[in-house]
């Protein structure tokens, strides 16, 4: 497949079934025993001599976003065998957004550890990572980056859109929009039940530019999928063909020993960040990219990312920043269309899993055609990148806002803080008629950071207080140390770092304080003096959360802040070698 030679590989010491033998103190016996067991499944010696391609099967009845996993595994196996390899599917953890308590983010690092260790423990020359739902693709890329094998990502693909009373709907921007209408009394109980049947019209990942779609586009921009791997919906023939191609490609990667460190370079991360900004991608994409980069010894330079954002318009017209859905993006040519438009801003020499560079793949995709989903650089849907990086005394380690999904009227705003101490406090008071709140206030929610909830839940999309919603208020400035779903919208400041649970300034904001947001100046400021803040910290010291046992204990001891990807400190690369992006 490569049309230019790639650097000579340094072959691994052992390959195929001979890799990573179980320790019995006698390697000959270890291999003898391994082959005896696998022959119990009917394999021949000829099959066992082939390159072994692992396939992570993340199908789960709890994960409808991976509901097509059985067909994908079959298609990958077909591709592997057509190319002369031996496919070996194996299960790993699967994490779905709505079926993970307290939050899927709490389990992302566990999934990455599972993936890494099973890639290390089992004999395979390359691996196909099947992921889709929000945390799964980052978890797999993190694990594979640490394991160091040749690895290729296969996305499960987006769901189809549904229809409600003639209006096209899809998860989950429309889930939030209709729930907001229900809260405001604009939609009754019967209608909201009808909508519930239509929001997720098939298996597959959320149909808008949420975190799953964002990570699919990022995976392709990183060079970790075959060309065109991001956009085909889950239930299409295109998705199955991509799976077959992925399997075949994995075999060649094993033969070429095209390891992941040759793909996940600083240039690849720069391309991924450029794409994140240009698609109006989920704010979660930054956290995940920081975690994946950390595994490769790279730190995200948030100030440089903001500079990059100022030069990168949003081109993709998808909800929640725009109008369309993922299947429309696919019909518009998918990532090839976007990358062709972004070409002047990309690192074209970054190597991809095909063995060719990103620039070569863009050229190979051929000319574009008339379509309405990817705008031109001259006619963007938003003039700057979707995400702006803020700082100030309220967020010394930074915060972010998805400006492309915010209300332009509120981007320069000063208001009175209305503080909720945690999720329970918010749930008990947000809909009370007694809540002292106006549309000009700033809603503050704390203790939802990486350690706070724990797991940095997507609760930063604080609901509009019911009495304001009923009065027709559609947006209000909101601020927290948590995350929000990529499918959400509003003037919402997120990832305030350091978080309140470890004593960040957010812990000491009081209702009635003035807060100033200036997206133009990239500032988030608490209008309280340093002395007063220091006194408040002395008066009410913060006790960090702990746990007695188990994964929660490991998590609370080890999780890092949002700007470091909320990865575990012991999982990042042993040596940090640089910062990205270099703009
Ligand atoms: Fe799985 Fe949205 S819930 S992608």
**Which one of 68, 94, 99, 133 would you pick to mutate in the ligand 1 pocket, going by the greatest count of ligand atoms within 8 A of its CB?**
133
Rounded CA separation 128/51 (Å) = 13
pLDDT at 452 over 80: yes
Q: Do residue 168 and residue 156 come from a single domain?
A: no
Q: Are residues 142 and 255 in the same domain?
A: yes
Q: Which of 66, 210, 458 is the best mutation target for the ligand 1 pocket, counting ligand atoms within 8 Å of the beta carbon and taking the most?
A: 210
Element (H, E) at 397: strand 395-402
Q: Percent of the chain beyond pLDDT 70?
A: 98
Determine, yes or no, domain membership for 298: yes
Shared-domain flag, residues 114 and 254: yes
- Ligand 1 mutation target, pool 135, 157, 171, 213, most atoms within 8 A of CB: 171
Radius of gyration, CA atoms only, the chain: 24
For residues 406 and 418, membership in a common domain is answered with yes
Question: What is the C-alpha separation between 489 and 202, in angstroms, rounded?
Answer: 24
Q: HSE of 194 in the Cβ direction (CA atoms, 13 Å)? A: 11
Look up tokens 């990312």; give the residue.
305
CB-based pocket (< 6 A), ligand 1 = 65, 96-97, 133-134, 171-172, 205-206, 210, 212
Query: What ligand 1 atom has the least distance to the C-alpha of 64?
Result: 1
Residue of the CA atom closest to atom 3 of ligand 1: 97
- Give the pLDDT score at 485: 84
Q: Is the pLDDT of residue 287 over 60?
A: yes
DSSP letter for 120, please: H
**Averaged pLDDT for residues 80-95:** 98
Mean pLDDT over all residues of the chain? 95
Alpha helices, DSSP H only, in 332-405?
A: 335-342, 358-364
Q: Which residue, 137, 171, 196, sits at the end of a domain?
A: 196
Please tell me whether residues 414 and 511 are part of one structural domain.
yes
Q: Which ligand 1 atom is at minimum distance from the Cα of 97?
A: 3
Q: Between 405 and 102, whose confidence is greater?
A: 102
Question: Residue 180's pLDDT is what?
Answer: 87
CA 24 to ligand 1 center in whole angstroms = 43
Cα-to-centroid distance, 343 and ligand 1 (Å): 29
Cα 178 to middle of ligand 1, angstroms? 17
Selected residue with higher pLDDT from 9 and 60? 60
Ligand 1 center–CA 285 separation, angstroms: 14
Same-domain pairing of 133 and 255:
yes
Give the Å distance between the CA of 55 and the centre of ligand 1.
21
Domain holding 180, by residue range, is: 162-196
Mean local confidence (pLDDT), 568-578:
96
User: Number of C-alpha atoms within 13 angstroms, CB side, residue 91?
Assistant: 7
Q: Does residue 317 sit within a domain?
A: yes
Residue with CA closest to ligand 1 atom 1: 133
Q: Give the atom of ligand 1 at the shortest distance from the alpha carbon of 63.
A: 1
Residues 404, 529, single domain; the answer is: yes
162 DSSP β-pair partners: 169
pLDDT single digits (tens) 453-474:
899 999 999 999 999 999 999 9
> Atom 2 of ligand 1 has which residue's CA nearest to it?
206
pTM of the model: 0.96
Mutate to test the pocket of ligand 1, among 134, 135, 218 (most ligand atoms within 8 A of CB): 134
Q: Are 353 and 452 contained in the same domain?
A: no
At 3 the pLDDT is: 46
Residue 38 located in a structural domain: no
Residue 1 pLDDT exceeds 50? no
CA 404 to ligand 1 centroid distance, Å: 21
Calculate how far, in angstroms, residue 66's C-alpha sits from the geometric centre of ligand 1. Answer: 9
Q: Which of 104, 225, 81 is nearest to 155 (CA)?
A: 225
pLDDT of 414-449, one tens digit each?
999 999 999 999 999 999 999 999 999 999 999 999
> Is 54 part of any domain?
yes
How far does the centroid of ligand 1 lie from the alpha carbon of residue 223, in Å?
Answer: 23
Contact 304, 274 (CB under 8 A): no
Token pair listed for 369: 């055609």
Distance 206 CA to ligand 1 centre (A): 5
CA of 171, closest atom in ligand 1 = 2
- Predicted local distance difference test score (pLDDT) of residue 8: 54
* Assigned domain for 379 exists: no
CA of 566 to the centre of ligand 1 (A): 20
Give, as one character, the DSSP assignment of residue 114: H
State the closest ligand 1 atom to the C-alpha of 205, by its place in the atom list counted from 1.
4
Q: Say what percent of the chain tops pLDDT 90.
A: 92
Mutate to test the pocket of ligand 1, among 96, 160, 234 (most ligand atoms within 8 A of CB): 96
| 37 falls within a domain | no
CATH number at residue 356: 3.40.50.2300
Residue whose C-alpha is closest to residue 159's, from 93, 214, 97, 231: 231
pLDDT at 7 over 80: no
Structural domain total, the chain: 3
101 and 243 belong to one structural domain: yes
- Cα gap 489→185, rounded to integer Å: 20
Q: Residue 2's pLDDT is what?
A: 45
The mean pLDDT of 510-532, rounded to a whole number, is 97
> Count of H helices and E strands in the chain?
19, 16
The minimum-distance atom of ligand 1 relative to the CA of 213 is 4
Cα 171 from Cα 163, distance rounded (Å): 12
SS3 525: strand
- Whether residues 328 and 412 share a domain: the answer is no
- The 10s digit of each residue's pLDDT in 310-363 is 999 999 999 988 899 999 999 999 999 999 999 999 999 999 999 999 999 999
The alpha carbon of 159 and the centre of ligand 1 are apart by a number of angstroms equal to 9
Tens digits of residue pLDDT in 240-275: 999 999 999 999 999 999 999 999 999 999 999 999
**Atom in ligand 1 nearest the alpha carbon of residue 172:** 2
User: Omega into 536 within 30° of 0, i.e. cis?
Assistant: no
Cis ω on the peptide bond leading into residue 289 (within 30° of 0)?
no
Task: Write the pLDDT tens digit of every residue in 68-79.
Answer: 999 999 999 999
pLDDT score at 322? 86
Instruction: List, as one string, the DSSP characters of 205-229.
Output: B-SSSSHHHHHHHHHHHTT-S-TT-
What three-state secondary structure class fits 86?
Answer: strand
HEC sequence for 178-190: HHHHHHCCCCCHH
Give the pLDDT confidence of 107-121 residue by residue, as tens digits. 999 999 999 999 999
408 within some domain:
yes
Q: Are both 225 and 313 inside the same structural domain?
A: yes
Instruction: Answer yes or no: is 219 within a domain.
Output: yes
| CATH code of residue 509 | 3.50.30.80
Same domain (yes/no): 354, 423? no
| Interval between CA 462 and ligand 1 midpoint (Å) | 19
Q: Is pLDDT of 10 > 70?
A: no
Does position 213 have pLDDT exceeding 80, yes or no?
yes
């Amino acid at each position: 497949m490569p049309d230019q030679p790639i650097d000579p590989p340094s072959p691994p010491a052992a390959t195929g079934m001979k890799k990573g033998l179980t320790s019995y103190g006698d390697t000959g016996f270890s291999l003898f025993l391994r082959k005896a067991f696998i022959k119990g499944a009917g394999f021949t010696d000829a099959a066992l001599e082939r390159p072994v391609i692992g396939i992570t099967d993340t199908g789960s009845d709890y994960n409808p976003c991976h509901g097509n996993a059985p067909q994908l595994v079959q298609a990958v196996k077909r591709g592997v065998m057509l190319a002369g390899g031996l496919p070996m599917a194996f299960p790993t953890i699967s994490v779905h957004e709505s079926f993970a308590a307290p939050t899927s983010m709490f389990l992302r690092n566990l999934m990455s550890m599972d993936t890494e260790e099973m890639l290390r423990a089992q004999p395979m020359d390359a691996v196909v990572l099947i992921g889709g739902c929000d945390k799964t693709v980052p978890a797999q890329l993190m694990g594979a980056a640490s394991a160091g094998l040749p690895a290729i990502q296969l996305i499960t693909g987006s769901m189809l859109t549904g229809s409600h009373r003639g209006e096209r709907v899809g998860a989950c921007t429309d889930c939030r929009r209709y729930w907001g209408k229900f809260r405001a009394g604009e939609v009754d109980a019967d209608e909201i039940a009808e909508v519930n049947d239509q929001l997720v019209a098939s298996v597959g990942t959320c149909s808008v530019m949420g975190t799953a779609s964002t990570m699919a586009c990022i995976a392709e921009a990183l060079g970790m999928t075959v060309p065109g791997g991001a956009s085909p919906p889950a239930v299409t023939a295109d998705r199955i063909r991509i799976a077959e191609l992925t399997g075949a490609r994995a075999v060649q990667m094993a033969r070429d020993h095209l390891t992941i460190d040759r793909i996940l370079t600083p240039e690849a991360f720069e391309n991924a960040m450029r794409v994140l900004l240009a698609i109006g991608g989920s704010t979660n994409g930054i956290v995940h990219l920081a975690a994946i980069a950390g595994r490769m010894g790279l730190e995200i330079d948030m100030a440089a990312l903001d500079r990059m954002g100022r030069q990168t318009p949003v081109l993709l017209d998808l909800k929640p920043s725009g109008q369309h859905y993922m299947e429309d993006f696919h019909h518009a040519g998918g990532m090839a269309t976007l990358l062709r438009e972004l070409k002047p801003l990309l690192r074209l020499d970054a190597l991809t899993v095909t063995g060719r560079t990103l620039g070569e793949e863009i050229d190979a995709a051929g000319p574009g055609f008339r379509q309405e989903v990817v705008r031109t650089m001259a006619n963007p849907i938003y003039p700057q990148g979707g995400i702006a990086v803020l700082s100030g005394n309220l967020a010394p380690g930074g915060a972010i806002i998805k400006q492309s999904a915010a209300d332009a009227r509120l981007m320069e705003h000063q208001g009175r803080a209305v503080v909720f101490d945690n999720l329970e406090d918010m749930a008990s008071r947000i809909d009370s008629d007694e809540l002292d709140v106006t549309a000009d206030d700033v809603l503050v929610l704390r203790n939802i950071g990486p350690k706070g909830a724990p797991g940095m839940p997507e609760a930063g999309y604080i609901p509009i207080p019911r009495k304001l919603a009923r009065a027709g208020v559609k947006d209000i400035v909101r601020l927290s140390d948590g995350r929000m779903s990529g499918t959400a919208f509003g003037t919402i400041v997120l990832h305030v770092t350091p978080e309140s649970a470890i004593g960040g300034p957010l812990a000491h904001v009081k209702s009635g304080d003035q807060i100033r947001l200036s997206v133009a100046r990239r500032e988030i400021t608490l209008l309280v003096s340093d002395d007063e803040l220091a006194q408040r910290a002395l008066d009410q010291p913060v006790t960090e959360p702990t746990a007695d046992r188990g994964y929660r204990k490991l998590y609370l001891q080890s999780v890092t802040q949002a700007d470091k990807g909320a990865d575990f400190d012991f999982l990042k690369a042993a040596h940090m070698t640089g910062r990205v992006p270099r703009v």
